[in-house]
Amino acid sequence: MKNTPDGSQLLNALSKSALFLNTMRRSGMVAVAATSAALIGQPVFAEAAPEKSTINFKTLTYRDYQPSDDRIDIDAESFLIQVPIAGQWSITGTAVHDAISGASPRYHSSSLAQIKDTRKAYTGAVTRYFQQGSVTVGTAYSKEKDYISRNYSIQNSWSTPSQNTTFIVGLGYTSDQIIPNSIFLTAKEDKRVVDLALGVTQVLSQTDIAQVTYHHTRGRGYYSDQYKLYDARPDSRDSDSVLVRWNHHFVESANTLHSSYRYYTDSNDINAHTLEFDYVFNLPNQWSITPLLRYYSQSAASFYYDPVANDPWADADTFGAPISVVYPLYAEGRFASMDQRLSSFGAITYGAKLTKHFGENWSADVKFEQYEQKGSWALGNGSDGLKDFGARSIQFGISHSF
């Protein structure tokens, strides 16, 4: 064996080679990494089977209203469970029960009778994870006394070897039954929708991830509203939408900005723009607060008729639904609807979500949202005859993983 190495040689050599620290400092190289210790041990692949099971319970209290009279209340409870199986599979199930009550809106219905209904909806999905992607097969079922919907879907995602780009292809088929429950519908009707989604998720940097999704739907069948007087809509609706989402994390503040924009267009001639931002402020002691702001605008359907603007009796309030507008069209067999949802309007939502984590495995959240809709807020010409319309919702949620 050689003589004892000389410590001064090593010290000199290492001191000279301490350059990298300095070059990094000079070039102002920004250090970026996980700022949450909870991440340690988590594989960072585009999509990997979840390591833990999750259960999530939420309640929703929703009320929409026009200033003069309250309209619809919804109380909903929902439940989600996701269980990983054998490291390569996961099963996800959700159940939602809605109780809907309230007066149906003026102009939009045959009467102002109280409506009360319940909706039960269930979804189930199985995902198989592979080295570079996953395949999900899912089904959904929803039932109301006048409406049954069944959906089947398959979605495949795969990533490039770097896991920085992920492609998604989804195909869905929905078959709905409309059950007669009003004087306007005498026989069962149905509706079938095929939809296709194509998406790309791209890691842009250590703190940015973006997604572009194109969604096409092709629907055939009964699209009218059985409760609305003289409501006749085309028996097909095709839609295209492009959704762009971008998440950015600010390392210094540990906050995150979510931005999204959606363009929607359909064969009813409705074009819509949706712009949404929310910002996750991380607070001490595992609290976070996320204010959100959303703007939505749509143009009217080609067969939308404004109940007031076209009404010879402009002060229609006293007369109930202004059937004089659409009845002649309806009688001629032309499409017509006075559904506010087909009008031209703009809408703003603002709200905030407050989340508290308790250790790694429990979290609770409460979310408040206020929604306001006005004809004059539309990007183009808004429909004149709309009453301002609003909605308010509060969600409570609790989530546990194990």
In angstroms, give the least distance from the CB of 251 to other proteins.
6
Pair type for strands 133-144 and 287-298: unpaired
State the Cα–Cα distance between residues 162 and 398, nearest whole angstrom.
35
In angstroms, give the least distance from the CB of 238 to other proteins.
9
Nearer to other proteins by Cβ, of 229 and 307: the residue is 307
Longest dimension (CA), the chain: 109
Task: Please give the single-letter amino acid code of residue 347.
Answer: A
CA neighbours closer than 13 Å in the CB half-sphere of residue 240: 2
State the Cα–Cα distance between residues 16 and 72, nearest whole angstrom.
74
Nearer to other proteins by Cβ, of 150 and 387: the residue is 150
- Residue 111 CB coordination number (10 Å): 13
Question: Which class for 100: exposed (0-12), middle (13-18), buried (19 or more C-beta within 10 A)?
Answer: middle
Nearer to other proteins by Cβ, of 186 and 312: the residue is 312
Nearer to other proteins by Cβ, of 40 and 86: the residue is 40
In angstroms, give the least distance from the CB of 276 to other proteins.
10
Instruction: Judge contact between 224 and 204, C-beta under 8 A.
Output: no
305 Cα distance to chain centroid: 29
Question: Which class for 299: exposed (0-12), middle (13-18), buried (19 or more C-beta within 10 A)?
Answer: buried
Nearer to other proteins by Cβ, of 13 and 187: the residue is 13
In angstroms, give the least distance from the CB of 188 to other proteins.
13
Classified as helix, coil or strand, 347 is: strand
What letter does residue 48 receive in the DSSP assignment? -
373 Cα distance to chain centroid: 18
In angstroms, give the least distance from the CB of 376 to other proteins.
13
Nearer to other proteins by Cβ, of 209 and 229: the residue is 209
In angstroms, give the least distance from the CB of 374 to other proteins.
13
Nearer to other proteins by Cβ, of 89 and 276: the residue is 276
In angstroms, give the least distance from the CB of 315 to other proteins.
18
